[in-house]
Structure 1
């Protein structure tokens, strides 16, 4: 009898003692959520700054765009630094800059001039976090640290964390600004708490790249042409739609909101990236069939959202504008999923952070779109401008699907 039980015990023992796969990528994910939160907490307060500080629409929109002036250089520098110095060190440094920027924004009601360096440093912190953090999550999701089924699935996780931060940051700030005292101070407190929690969590995640001194090129020549052809045309649309939803649409329909402008703006900043999260399964299915299908769907949905936004602006309809924001958010989710998947497929490991930085840098050019709308609004009506932007999205789709670009194969 003892002998008859021995094989069963020998087989069962390994299963009973097998440890679950670690999820270190969740620890790094908090950094991406904090980055999205820091970027969007200001967006929902645009109306409050105009009402309480007397800032003009042009000033608040310019402050929205100053973010890009800090973000793009940080993206381009942060990627190579993360490849050379390691992901964790660069990501935590970016988180520290982001927290400092939030402190400067909190002083805005007393010293409005500090809003400018606050927004600039918000971009610096976000750019550093995006490059180091997104690559760190991708590497922690794959072997030997994680069990993500494909490189594309691992790469898309950073976009999901970023979307979660976008959605919750703007909504939380707007709710605080609507009902709490000292709204433009207390609205920023949650980000400081989230940053502290994210830092403590990420400090316990393993470093995936040891510190090293040798210089590596930003991108191998073999990857530059497909990156320019397949990624660069789509990248600006990642944030062009959400930026218009955050900074332009609420102001075009707020005449019917009667005191609920701040809450409405916060709902928009939650619905837009929230829709991006909801389309993640669709992005995965489209990518499994053909990578370009995800980009095509993203550009089509973005164009539809812009056209609906133009209609909402023409008739001052907040409900239609909210639906337009959801469509723009869905377009964002599809485009960012496509971009991160394509970069993961194109870049060798030692160039991944650098190529990811280039993708985010081009993507964040879309945040300049609201400023362009403000400039053009002196000559054209906002519905006409939004319609023109929708036409540009469709032209981008046509360029992407031209014969020279239709060679992309399904991701293995």
Structure 2
């Protein structure tokens, strides 16, 4: 999971370098940022069901290999920029399959002893924690290397290859929790264990899907949009500044993890609701930062956006782990990540609208949408609680 987060975010901190060193336009770099999602979707949609049929281990190792190949293609980018496109696309495929299969594997490896009530939230938070750790360290490491190392857009990717090798060696010792059963006859659904809820497509659509895109809208705005709006005051340090934001944002998500745990214990939807409120606040602060071109205010915005990201990803993964029976866990996990990662298209959408509206106006409108989503979640969650 850490390798997956690292691979996704190492590119984000280099967007400014690609614009200045390779002469890529803002539209091109945000499109490269977003094409990652086009790879994620098949990676998630195919990786989850494949992991349910063939087992967690083979899918995880195939995804790790794909991710490493993608990084090698990105390293060729300074010589032939055309390789950046398949590199980012394959990064998405590898990360998507890792999220689907790896998230299910972690949940199963985290299962308590027989006879003990399961705690789906604990495993979900563990997945989110290590994913966020990869997000936080990958972008910052790439930025620091790119600022001072020779051949920055090549050397910056080397750490991911090392992390991937370490991840493969570590995972090789983990037991397979879902052996291949491609030709097994369908079996009746397992009984619901104490503390678990039967999977409900309606619950997933009503309570998880509306929140899911905001999981990555928040960090995507922080990574890909904010630095370009305020970096006029950090001339010469644009790459380091972008790297700091890519560390601060998921770092805030890690810090709020204990808070997410206490919220989830009090009320089912509280984690998601407060996460959406934090994202709305972060977007409003982002609008202020863009209006005044203030890097410090943008950093404050990234903290709020990161906290919202952490709370929303904890909410979504906890709900999925609680709703899904074992034979559908990877499938439902992949569905959640598919919807969540659509949020990575937000910077490209913002770029398209910038020709008509100012960035502060667009960011303020996004904050209003987050608040509307919050109101919808609160209404549906309250009705669901009364129905129970």
TM-score, structure 1 length as denominator? 0.89
Structure 2 CA distance for aligned equivalents of residues 215 and 381 of structure 1: 57
Q: What's the CA shift for 1:406?
A: 3.7
Residue number in structure 2 paired with 1:119: 88
Structure possessing the higher radius of gyration over alpha carbons: 1
Residue number in structure 2 paired with 1:299: 276
Tell me, yes or no, if structure 1 residue 83 matches structure 2 residue 52.
Answer: yes
Residue number in structure 2 paired with 1:92: 61
SS at match of 1:298: helix
> Where in structure 1 are there 5+ consecutive unaligned residues?
1-31
Against the structure 1 CA distance between its residues 315 and 227, is the aligned structure 2 distance closer, same or farther, given a 3 Å change threshold?
same
> Where in structure 2 are there 5+ consecutive unaligned residues?
191-197
Tell me, yes or no, if structure 1 residue 267 matches structure 2 residue 244.
Answer: yes
Q: What's the CA shift for 1:407?
A: 2.1
Query: What is the aligned-residue RMSD (CA, Å)?
Result: 1.8
Tell me, yes or no, if structure 1 residue 150 matches structure 2 residue 115.
Answer: no
Match of 1:354 among 331, 339, 344: 331
Any conservation in 1 of the 2:207–2:380 contact (CA below 8 Å)? no
Residue number in structure 2 paired with 1:385: 362
How many residue pairs were aligned? 376
Structure 2 CA distance for aligned equivalents of residues 265 and 361 of structure 1: 26
Structure 1 CA distance for aligned equivalents of residues 227 and 78 of structure 2: 22
Match of 1:394 among 358, 371, 376: 371
Structure 2 CA distance for aligned equivalents of residues 180 and 281 of structure 1: 37
Structure 1 CA distance for aligned equivalents of residues 222 and 268 of structure 2: 26
Residue number in structure 1 paired with 2:234: 257
Tell me, yes or no, if structure 1 residue 329 matches structure 2 residue 298.
Answer: no
Structure 1 CA distance for aligned equivalents of residues 250 and 148 of structure 2: 24
Structure 1 CA distance for aligned equivalents of residues 107 and 357 of structure 2: 44
Residue number in structure 2 paired with 1:366: 343
Any conservation in 1 of the 2:6–2:138 contact (CA below 8 Å)? yes
Deviation per residue, 1:83-121 (Å, 9 max, x gap): 011111101110000000000000000010000000000
Q: What's the CA shift for 1:401?
A: 1.5
After superposing on structure 2, the runs of 4+ consecutive aligned residues of structure 1 that deviate more than 4 Å are 219-222
Q: Mean Cα displacement is larger for which, 207-216 or 190-199?
A: 207-216
Against the structure 1 CA distance between its residues 140 and 148, is the aligned structure 2 distance closer, same or farther, given a 3 Å change threshold?
farther
Alignment of 1:204-223 (within 5 A): 204-213=173-182, 214=184, 223=200
Alignment of 1:302-313 (within 5 A): 302-313=279-290
Structure 2 CA distance for aligned equivalents of residues 148 and 257 of structure 1: 52
Q: What's the CA shift for 1:151?
A: 1.5
